[in-house]
Structure 1
């Protein structure tokens, strides 16, 4: 029985895990690196630093498992979405890796909205026009660095850079390509309007391949550093979001994955592509009969971490030493406050918001505070506010589909029984917490198993996933939350017209409010019980 490596290339670390064919973990390793934010709105990484992390993570996982090179059947790749970089004709980077968290293309995104192009692009590609998307980043780069833009041979994601260094091919899986804002949902080729806007030919972008594409003939030096044979096949894999759904078993209609790490996301697979009339959700390609529909929210565990750092951990105390103690205390305090935090609401938009509002100017707000409210109320309200934001995405996702049966929880929040029960009560839906460890990595390994013939369909992955616990919604609490949720949405609607004004004032002070968001990890660790 062979072993499969699930490689998960995230925002601040790369993880590699070895799985047997039954899904059991045999070993793993993680390598961290920084997200570089030298100024407001800018968020980059060094591509060769990520490449070194991939090599070290795989080498570490091999050593941890005590595995031999000839035991590895294949490597599957999961990677964060929306990154882009320029390379020259020899494959050398001309720019840093510009990540999803980089907001410097906000002006280009706004221009596309004003001239009506945004709606047409969304319907054609399934990607909402937003500074996260490589499309707007390319427009920004073309405007700001015209000579560099002309000189660049290719504009690629980090996964393409990795595959080029390992195998000499610039290839991007259809899942990641779909998240660029440039892949046509109908043809699964580069969209003509996107090419026209950016001034690029298809030759200056990567080769689009299916998620099961095999790569062989690895660079011998890099293979040796990882402890792998050059003949070991690598499988293209997909985005971290899509593979997280695979990793928790949310593969069929009626099964929705809720991931809350630093930020959050709500995602379901559908049999056919579908865009939202209001442009609230994304639609990304995956397999011919599986399309990923959903939306990311910027403010997940980062909001609770912010509350901890600003209002719970004492001045001068070590955040690392005190964090676990403070988190446990918040969970205990939250349990002492009734649902709705006795009339205290929190809009968690500390770093703007993506789905369903796609409003980079949205800001965090506590509403309804009185002299009666104390630390416990604010802690619970912060947790509830994150879940209210998640529910706005969930509602947009399920508005036209009433078949949803359950929510499958993953990410740091899934380790807290308090928070996952709160999600069940607030959504009125059963919440299942699978026992899957590192969902995106397991999803990547599962695609490798599919490509290698170890499984016949991804639906077989469910047989390899157990249930850690299940939460049923409490009808009385759900009724209470319905009233607060209605008010939560109305407060947002009332504040939406004034958010741009306060955001503009904040930008004038040089304060950075928009450098941390996304459905993977960012600069902070994820709260856990």
Structure 2
């Protein structure tokens, strides 16, 4: 029997899971992602610690399952998109990595939107600018850390850095780099004119050669094998931007399915044979299946907000649940179930890490009164995150050429029956959950199985290794109340829009104190 390891480097957790060729998960090992926040709006990772974490979880899952290194036929790596991981000319990390929830470069994006740079770039990249994209972060580094900028040998995305450490081969996988404003989506190649527009033309030589998700991009080196417990020479595939990996694991290979991922980021996407080039959606990128584009609406506004709510506002509940052998998530699900959808709960804006409406928008509970408890606030967190997904979904629906038959949901919300039902009710579409505990890692395993010859193609591997779970129909009786709540959510966004810049000035004043 041959097995496949998927490595998933997320914004909050680093995981390794191992699968057989039916997609059955045999084990998983994870460690918390150690995020550094040296200043407000800055979110970074120590790149050596990050590599150590990947080695740790690979060793852990092999030990946990008892699977021998020589039985691992292939490895795939996925990770968060955007952000920036730089390898220096001195053959070590050039600085800390920058995570996709970082917001330091927002002024560059504001300027490029105002002076027409974004419009010119869109003609080639087919995507709007985001504060956390590598081009904006590189422009910030060029101005604020010129010595680090001059030392750059390779510009990596998250998972491409880990693959480089595994193989010693610098490659740039297209699902990530086509969403980073480096590539012309019409040619499928790097575009020097894009770098010139952003004032970072010096980086052209630092962009690694492109590769596909299911292409063998290198082999595990002796050094990496010793660190990770792997066999030297094990194939490592290109891997994915994690939202592609989850789409693949969810079987989203048809244009009438929507993939929704409720993780750190609110990911909402579908595939299409032509890019949407009229500016109505945030992102077009190249999908893992080469005949398709991935049409994406996303922001760092999803279940990561619930993690903060539990950690910061329910610490004793979390501690008591652990002592009782229960999951704190089960307790919160019970709380949310106790509050009916018709009950007024505060409007929660899930903008703890970023926003999809204004670059400086902050998270908020609006409408709290003395009768509200933490149970009401828990429901408001669930609702606010669902409404933020709907805000993105409506933009996608306006560009779809056919009615969607369902949403394939993964991430934190998919593991909660009450939250998954809320998603169905708020979106007014059937929700199909996926039988995959670690969808991102499974997507990587599928690519590895395809690349190493276990299956004839990625589509063939998907058909054998993915399983759709339960289907949740929307409750039509709740359509009106959720529509009314969503309308209040959107009006709250409008009413507060003029506040955020003034609030940001206070944030910056505090930094200078």
TM-score (norm 1): 0.88
Deviates more, 1:39-48 or 1:437-446: 39-48
How far residue 324 of structure 1 moved from its aligned partner, in angstroms, is: 5.8
- Is 1:85 matched up with 2:80? no
Counterparts in 2 of 1:435 and 1:276: CA distance versus 1, 3 Å? farther
How far residue 392 of structure 1 moved from its aligned partner, in angstroms, is: 0.4
Q: Aligned partners of 2:302 and 2:323: how far apart in 1?
A: 22
Aligned pair count?
Answer: 508
Q: Aligned partners of 2:59 and 2:318: how far apart in 1?
A: 38
Provide the residue aligned with 1:457 in structure 2: 457
Provide the residue aligned with 2:108 in structure 1: 108
- Is 1:62 matched up with 2:62? yes
How far residue 336 of structure 1 moved from its aligned partner, in angstroms, is: 3.2
Provide the residue aligned with 1:362 in structure 2: 361
Counterparts in 2 of 1:377 and 1:459: CA distance versus 1, 3 Å? same
How far residue 171 of structure 1 moved from its aligned partner, in angstroms, is: 0.5
Provide the residue aligned with 1:506 in structure 2: 507
Counterparts in 2 of 1:467 and 1:190: CA distance versus 1, 3 Å? closer
Q: Aligned partners of 2:476 and 2:119: how far apart in 1?
A: 39
Counterparts in 2 of 1:233 and 1:331: CA distance versus 1, 3 Å? closer
Provide the residue aligned with 1:250 in structure 2: 252
Counterparts in 2 of 1:236 and 1:302: CA distance versus 1, 3 Å? closer
Q: Aligned partners of 1:3 and 1:327: how far apart in 2?
A: 31
The aligned runs of 1:196-215 (5 Å cut-off) are: 196=196, 197-215=199-217
Provide the residue aligned with 1:192 in structure 2: 192
Provide the residue aligned with 1:384 in structure 2: 383
Provide the residue aligned with 1:268 in structure 2: 270
8 Å contact kept, 1:216–1:230: no
How far residue 453 of structure 1 moved from its aligned partner, in angstroms, is: 2.3
SS at match of 1:274: coil
Q: Aligned partners of 1:415 and 1:316: how far apart in 2?
A: 18
Provide the residue aligned with 2:485 in structure 1: 484
SS at match of 1:249: coil
SS at match of 2:183: coil
8 Å contact kept, 1:347–1:366: yes
Counterparts in 2 of 1:428 and 1:161: CA distance versus 1, 3 Å? closer
SS at match of 1:257: strand
Q: Aligned partners of 1:426 and 1:479: how far apart in 2?
A: 10
Q: Aligned partners of 2:105 and 2:360: how far apart in 1?
A: 14
Q: Aligned partners of 1:188 and 1:496: how far apart in 2?
A: 37
How far residue 27 of structure 1 moved from its aligned partner, in angstroms, is: 2.8
How far residue 228 of structure 1 moved from its aligned partner, in angstroms, is: 2.6
8 Å contact kept, 2:275–2:293: yes
Counterparts in 2 of 1:169 and 1:302: CA distance versus 1, 3 Å? closer
Query: Where do 5+ consecutive residues of structure 2 fail to align?
Result: none
8 Å contact kept, 1:259–1:265: yes
SS at match of 1:267: strand
Q: 1:286 aligns with which of 277, 285, 288?
A: 288
Counterparts in 2 of 1:330 and 1:287: CA distance versus 1, 3 Å? closer
How far residue 369 of structure 1 moved from its aligned partner, in angstroms, is: 4.4
1:190-248 residue CA offsets vs partner (Å, 9 max, x unmatched): 22232212122532211111112214453213223333322211111111111011112
Provide the residue aligned with 2:15 in structure 1: 15
Q: Aligned partners of 2:168 and 2:332: how far apart in 1?
A: 50
Displacement over 6 Å in runs of 4+: 315-320
Provide the residue aligned with 1:136 in structure 2: 136
How far residue 421 of structure 1 moved from its aligned partner, in angstroms, is: 0.5
SS at match of 1:153: strand
Q: Aligned partners of 2:89 and 2:365: how far apart in 1?
A: 52
Q: Aligned partners of 1:14 and 1:259: how far apart in 2?
A: 17
SS at match of 1:253: coil
- Is 1:393 matched up with 2:366? no
Q: 1:295 aligns with which of 294, 297, 300?
A: 297
How far residue 375 of structure 1 moved from its aligned partner, in angstroms, is: 4.1
Q: Aligned partners of 2:414 and 2:368: how far apart in 1?
A: 28
Q: Aligned partners of 1:375 and 1:97: how far apart in 2?
A: 36
8 Å contact kept, 1:28–1:62: no
Q: Aligned partners of 2:304 and 2:325: how far apart in 1?
A: 13
Query: Where do 5+ consecutive residues of structure 1 fail to align?
Result: 512-529
8 Å contact kept, 1:340–1:484: no
Q: Aligned partners of 1:311 and 1:333: how far apart in 2?
A: 14
Deviates more, 1:395-404 or 1:359-368: 359-368
8 Å contact kept, 1:256–1:268: yes
8 Å contact kept, 1:432–1:471: yes
Q: Aligned partners of 1:93 and 1:310: how far apart in 2?
A: 33
How far residue 30 of structure 1 moved from its aligned partner, in angstroms, is: 2.1
TM-score (norm 2): 0.91
8 Å contact kept, 1:341–1:380: no
Provide the residue aligned with 1:433 in structure 2: 433
How far residue 34 of structure 1 moved from its aligned partner, in angstroms, is: 0.7
SS at match of 2:4: strand
1:328-355 residue CA offsets vs partner (Å, 9 max, x unmatched): 444333323332533643333233313x
8 Å contact kept, 1:253–1:403: no
How far residue 127 of structure 1 moved from its aligned partner, in angstroms, is: 3.8
Counterparts in 2 of 1:385 and 1:315: CA distance versus 1, 3 Å? closer
8 Å contact kept, 2:127–2:282: no
Counterparts in 2 of 1:266 and 1:337: CA distance versus 1, 3 Å? same
